[in-house]
């Protein structure tokens, strides 16, 4: 069985997308390997075996911080959770500094150039770009792939999956800048305090436009008009508290066997009164400047009467009422387990044990110095927990790699660059021809996939497990992913191309080649049988053939990225 990459007289080395006949004559190994992951329950969940135990009341053993120096394989697995993709140099850095030392180094790194400033420097604020999305995709891809503040990038993208804004739902003349400013808010606050983050998104133009509370007006007793409730509802349901009251281990509190609701419609209506009057700081839309400015209060449309919600009341309106409302939500007991569970899902495992959630939620509630919502403490608790660091002990461990992380993982591992700085990867949300996901382009406030999604009629559903990323995974999207990645690996896109110089030095030795790709891309998680299969495909192309070395490299990378063990990060 061989999978050769087509050759072209125009472009040396790997070129062209495989034809349908090529895939068929090679046994269709590429889509079939990837499709195997669709039915593999092993991509979801997490084992509690090494993470302590929890009782029904949520009590748990203390967090176990792993301190021995990690091996290269362990470092690569850590980086798969903590960055947009491992590289040889970052693996070496983690081995040298240890997990905690590397985190400390990342926390100390200054913020990369903001998306806003990069777009301004690139001239995307030219009048010709009004009513276009020019510059947004390039700045997002560039920063995820090349900037050294990788922990911030990964946390920022996780927050974007939770505190969702999608650019297609933002309505203004400079949507690309509005979205860039919103992502900047997430990145700027990624290592700060969650309460500050809530304040920042509440006064952000893109969020206000996306969830329709921009210029939200107080009720009109004459007409019966009421304030828009969209943000009040989603703030509680999706961003902070969830639908049902929780214990610290994330389990639902019950009454008579039924979960207890966190809030009622009356709470939504009361809270909506608080979020009236928020308006742009200026009416000048000739440039994108106003879309970066925090919203201000327009007293003429702000509700100043009493607003009651979640067992409390505020009155007087203005920013003081907004602050009081956010303080109330931030102090709610649901916030630590609700947010902690979703962050664990985005970084480590789809089904964290109650003990794991409890430990992280405890760090969220108090960082050890009496501070609630300290993101650095939460990040450390997630990534250094024994459940995150121990090798998976059950079939439920881990998560399906989200598609964007597969692309950035490849790009980072093999030094992709864009000499023109155009970063023309573009919108990758088409599931049939691209990835089925693209950062900043969520179709709704529920993201591309929901944290509680379970594929119906599967073993996962029967086991009570969730598999969020499977909501955008099917036969069509898997084949689209493999074919899209083939084109990227072989030819790049625009002038975004990988640098295979270093990996080509291993091309003649299939064992060394596949082992290196396995380490950097798959964190050493390829099974012996998969390694054997990939080596066989690599060896089917002679290293001495024309373009042999580069084609052997391409085969090793593509088959690794199509394998179930790569797709299922454990």
For the chain, the maximum distance between any two Cα atoms, rounded to a whole number of angstroms, is 84
Is 50 or 87 the better-scoring residue by pLDDT? Answer: 87
Calculate the CA dihedral of residues 439, 569, 20, 496 and round it to 10 degrees. 40
* pLDDT value of residue 403: 98
Residue 11 pLDDT level (bands cut at 50, 70, 90): very low
Segment holding 487, helix H or strand E: helix 475-491
Helix axes 510-522, 528-539, angle to 10 degrees: 130
Residue 48 pLDDT level (bands cut at 50, 70, 90): very low
Residue 25: is its pLDDT beyond 50? no
Q: Quote the distance between the C-alpha of residue 157 and its chain's center.
A: 4
CA distances to 29, 143, 247, 321, 539 from 511, rounded to whole Å, are 20, 33, 49, 64, 10
Question: H-type helices in 316-391, by residue range?
Answer: 318-330, 335-347, 354-365, 375-384, 386-389
* pLDDT value of residue 396: 77
Residue 395 pLDDT level (bands cut at 50, 70, 90): low
pLDDT by residue (tens digit) across 283-298?
999 999 999 999 999 9
369-375 long-range contacts (CB < 8 A, ≥24 apart) are 371/193, 372/195, 372/330, 372/331, 372/336, 373/193, 373/194, 373/195, 373/330, 373/335, 374/193, 375/155, 375/189, 375/190, 375/191, 375/192, 375/193, 375/194, 375/197
Tell me the percentage of the chain whose pLDDT exceeds 90. Answer: 86
pLDDT by residue (tens digit) across 263-281?
999 999 999 999 999 999 9
* pLDDT value of residue 29: 38
Measured distance CA(214)–CA(205) in Å, rounded: 7
pLDDT by residue (tens digit) across 441-488?
999 999 999 999 999 999 999 999 999 999 999 999 999 999 999 999
> Average pLDDT for residues 36-51, to the nearest whole number?
33
Enter the tokens of residue 550.
């580069």
The total number of residues shown for the chain amounts to: 570
| DSSP structure string for 79-90 | HHHHSS---HHH
Contact 102, 93 (CB under 8 A): yes
pLDDT by residue (tens digit) across 131-140?
999 999 999 9
Count of beta carbons in the 10 Å neighbourhood of residue 110: 8
> What is the chain's mean pLDDT, rounded?
90
Measured distance CA(144)–CA(167) in Å, rounded: 18
Contact 352, 345 (CB under 8 A): yes
* pLDDT value of residue 393: 60
Contact 552, 543 (CB under 8 A): yes
Tell me the percentage of the chain whose pLDDT exceeds 70. Answer: 88
Phi, psi of 560 (to 5 degrees): -65, -45
* pLDDT value of residue 391: 77
> Average pLDDT for residues 554-560, to the nearest whole number?
98
Count of beta carbons in the 10 Å neighbourhood of residue 492: 18
Segment holding 404, helix H or strand E: helix 403-413
pLDDT by residue (tens digit) across 68-120?
789 999 999 999 999 999 999 999 999 999 999 999 999 999 999 999 999 99
* pLDDT value of residue 394: 63
CA angle 352, 356, 359 (to 5 degrees): 150
Residue 493: is its pLDDT beyond 80? yes
pLDDT by residue (tens digit) across 301-337?
999 999 999 999 999 999 999 999 999 999 999 999 9
* pLDDT value of residue 397: 82
Residue 555: is its pLDDT beyond 70? yes
> Average pLDDT for residues 173-179, to the nearest whole number?
97
Contact 131, 286 (CB under 8 A): no
Contact 193, 303 (CB under 8 A): no
> Average pLDDT for residues 383-389, to the nearest whole number?
96
* pLDDT value of residue 47: 31
* pLDDT value of residue 12: 34
Residue 215: is its pLDDT beyond 80? yes
Is 19 or 218 the better-scoring residue by pLDDT? Answer: 218
């Amino acid at each position: 069985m061989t999978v050769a990459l087509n050759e072209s007289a125009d472009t040396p080395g790997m070129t062209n997308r495989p034809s349908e006949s090529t895939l068929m004559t090679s046994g269709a190994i590429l889509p079939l390997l990837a499709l195997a992951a669709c039915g593999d329950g092993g991509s979801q969940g997490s084992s509690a075996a090494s993470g302590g135990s929890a009782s029904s009341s949520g009590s748990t053993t203390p967090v176990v911080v792993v301190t021995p120096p990690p091996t290269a394989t362990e470092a690569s697995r850590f980086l798969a959770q903590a960055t947009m993709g491992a590289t040889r140099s970052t693996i070496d850095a983690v081995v040298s500094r240890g997990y905690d030392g590397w985190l400390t180094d990342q926390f100390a790194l200054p913020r990369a150039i903001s998306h806003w400033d990069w777009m301004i420097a690139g001239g995307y604020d030219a009048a010709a770009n009004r009513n276009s999305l020019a510059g947004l995709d390039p700045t997002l891809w560039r920063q995820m792939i090349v900037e050294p503040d990788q922990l911030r990038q990964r946390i920022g993208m996780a927050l974007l999956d939770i505190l969702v804004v999608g650019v297609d739902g933002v309505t203004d003349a400079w949507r690309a800048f509005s979205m860039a400013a919103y992502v900047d808010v997430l990145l700027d606050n990624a290592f700060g305090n969650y309460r500050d983050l809530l304040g920042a998104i509440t006064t952000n133009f893109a969020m206000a436009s996306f969830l329709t509370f921009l210029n939200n007006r107080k009720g009109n007793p004459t007409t019966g008009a009421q304030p828009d409730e969209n943000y009040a509802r989603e703030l509680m349901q999706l961003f902070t508290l969830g639908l049902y009251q929780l214990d610290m281990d994330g389990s639902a509190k019950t009454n008579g066997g039924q979960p207890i609701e966190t809030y009622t419609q009356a709470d939504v209506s009361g809270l909506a009164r608080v979020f009236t009057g928020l308006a742009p700081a200026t009416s000048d839309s000739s440039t994108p400047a106003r879309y970066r400015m925090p919203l201000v209060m327009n007293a003429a449309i702000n509700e100043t009467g009493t607003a009651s919600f979640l067992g409390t009341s505020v009155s007087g309106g203005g920013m003081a009422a907004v602050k009081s409302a956010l303080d109330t939500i931030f102090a709610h007991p649901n916030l630590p387990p609700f947010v902690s569970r979703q962050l664990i899902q985005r970084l480590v495992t789809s089904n964290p044990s109650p003990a794991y959630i409890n430990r992280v939620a405890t760090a969220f509630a108090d960082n050890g110095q009496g501070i609630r919502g300290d993101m650095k403490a939460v990040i450390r608790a997630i990534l250094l927990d024994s459940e995150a660091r121990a090798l998976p002990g059950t079939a439920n461990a881990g998560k399906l790699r989200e598609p964007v992380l597969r692309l950035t993982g490849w790009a980072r591992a093999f030094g992709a660059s864009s000499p023109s700085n155009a970063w023309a990867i573009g919108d990758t949300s088409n599931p049939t021809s691209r990835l089925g996901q693209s950062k900043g382009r969520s179709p709704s406030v529920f993201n591309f996939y929901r944290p509680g999604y379970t594929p119906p009629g599967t073993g996962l559903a029967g086991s009570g497990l969730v598999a969020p990323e499977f909501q955008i995974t099917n036969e069509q999207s898997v084949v689209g992913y493999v074919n899209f990645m083939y084109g990227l690996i072989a030819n790049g896109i625009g002038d975004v191309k990988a640098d295979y110089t270093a990996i080509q030095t291993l091309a003649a030795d299939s064992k060394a080649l596949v082992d290196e790709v396995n380490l950097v891309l798959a964190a050493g998680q390829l099974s012996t049988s998969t390694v054997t299969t990939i080596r066989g495909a690599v060896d089917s192309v002679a290293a001495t053939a024309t373009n042999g070395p580069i084609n052997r490299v391409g085969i090793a990378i593509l088959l690794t990225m199509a394998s179930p063990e790569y797709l299922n990060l454990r």
